[in-house]
Chain A
């Protein structure tokens, strides 16, 4: 794509396109990964159903806005609430009895993910469903015309991540979350109810994933197997950034999002999925503690 035209203008355009599309991908990955890294850092629960929440968000907005023909705002709020409720229910019924056993939670959440895939498959069939764009038209950015929907993804993601940052670092609940993730026993000594905090963060992480799914629904079409690749990417980002580190996750999301986009533009979109898997494999083998993680643990 790049070398074909010798013009400098074309080359610059491709670079700009990579910058913009890579930004969109990174924004989605960051939203997925932050929720996951919070819950991994807090409860040591490696939630394989995280991708399913993303899928449920996408199908939720499709159902409410296309099938039930309700306004978009209602669709947003309803899908977020339903997914958060499902996550709370899963935490209470399926995960708490396992008492943090690693293999147990891994398998339980994976089976749950399969369960959601089957439910979606039975309800909507295997054919991908397309949600109409929330805002139409295209925005011209430095000479590159981008669909407005994609820019909306970036803007919403930026606002959400900034809001989350302020929430965690400035509010009392955010402090409680950090204290539980550092030392649950010490946190309970100073009066933090770690069970409620873990439930709350489970709901928060699930709604972040659902929000990512909602934003993606008009860009990519929704299908019953859409949970798997984003889940692997989110895990790659969480491990690359260091378990539990929000800043590391954002940095890692940028790395994964951009390297994927560059490979898709320069080599071929077909191998872009391999990039994440290779990064995951290399990080796990070479530096399991990640970019910003201080200690190796799993």
Chain B
């Protein structure tokens, strides 16, 4: 199903752009020698991962899961319990939390399958809010509003954290891109566009929706536990509205149903955060206003138009220097 036709592959300006961006991401710690900035970039990678997992649900299956924070929170608390009470190391808690998150995805997903639109959004939101309240009510094991602190960090050096998060993010993005560009992706799109028609041609829509739920909740919980380990803390705030709103702002600004988009959205949010650090608390306000403007003027997000613009530029430059590859015709189409 993930078969890639290597004969059809040709090196276009888009791939050149991707290589440049990747090279840049790997070289950042050498260019900016500031552990504080590295820590900020780890958060960018974490939010990017939340964004792409959310995008799989929203952009490819049309499931507006308002309570996406549920999976993040389950992952964070699962990691905290496994690490603090059972003494599991971080590299083991992350996949296990992912599986626990997928289990929650199954529990929430099965009753939510019949629901669409607003009902799904509110049901998932109610589930997240119930979990948040339960965490506060059972404060003898969850430490209530304070949350659990003192988790093992992934590494004490931010440079290792950065490379770990970057490589994991690349793997996550790669997996999701493979999924959405395979036959499964087409099926998901058909469910998103016209579910009844998809059923009519014999697609088991429920199974594919559940599969999306499972993948997305696994990723959300996996990265939730990564975040808990990185911050060495798991608090009830991860279930809350702010987390959910931030995740979908990142997704919308970057571009819905692109998978790569949310990564750009997350980095934009982080860069803006740094540029506006002097202004302090107004940052979130400005980001919300920018999100609204982008959503009204540029509903497909900022990343896709940027890619088209830059890769066209790159093609023109390479044409000038005659570094043409054998597939000029192909790149013109793409």
Contact = CB atoms under 8 A, between A and B. Distances in A.
Nearest to B121: A106
Given A94-B296, A102-B117, A102-B118, A281 B126 contact: yes
Given A108-B295, A285-B111, A118 B284 contact: yes
B281 A94 contact: no
A122 B122 contact: no
B137 interface: yes
A111 interface: yes
Contacts of A186: none
Contacts of A107: 64, 248, 252, 295
Contact of A106 (B66, B133, B282, B288): B66
B289 A115 contact: yes
Contacts of B129: 232, 277
For the side of the interface on A, what is the size category?
Answer: 20 to 34
A103 B58 contact: yes
Q: Is the interface of A mostly helix, strand, loop or mixed?
A: helix
Interface string A231-271: 01001000100000000000000000000000000000011
B123 interface: yes
B134 to A, nearest CB: 8
A280 interface: yes
Contacts of A61: none
Contacts of A122: 281-282, 285
A81 interface: no
Contacts of A298: 115-119
A97 B130 contact: no
A169 B117 CA distance: 31
A115 B66 contact: no
A273 B137 CA distance: 11
A94 B292 CA distance: 8
Q: Is the interface of B mostly helix, strand, loop or mixed?
A: helix
B314 interface: no
A112 interface: yes
B140 to A, nearest CB: 14
A288 B115 contact: yes
A114 interface: yes
B216 to A, nearest CB: 16
B159 interface: no
A280 B291 contact: no
B130 A277 contact: yes
B5 to A, nearest CB: 34
Given A103-B64, A274-B133, A298-B116, A114 B123 contact: no
Contact of B126 (A103, A111, A119, A277): A277
B100 interface: no
A46 B120 CA distance: 13
Contact of B245 (A114, A273, A274, A280): A114
A232 B121 CA distance: 12
B270 interface: no
B126 A280 contact: yes
Interface string B130-173: 10010001000000000000000000000000000000000000
A284 B126 CA distance: 10
Nearest to A103: B64
A121 interface: yes
A285 B123 contact: yes
Interface string B55-74: 00010001010100000000
Given A103-B62, A281-B123, 9 more contacts: A97-B296, A104-B295, A107-B295, A108-B292, A112-B292, A114-B284, A118-B281, A271-B133, A271-B137
Query: 9 closest pairs, A vs B, by CB?
Result: A118-B285, A298-B117, A284-B123, A298-B118, A115-B288, A280-B126, A281-B126, A102-B117, A298-B119
Interface of A: 46, 94, 97, 102-104, 106-108, 110-112, 114-115, 118-119, 121-122, 228, 232, 235, 239, 270-271, 273-274, 277-278, 280-281, 284-285, 288, 298
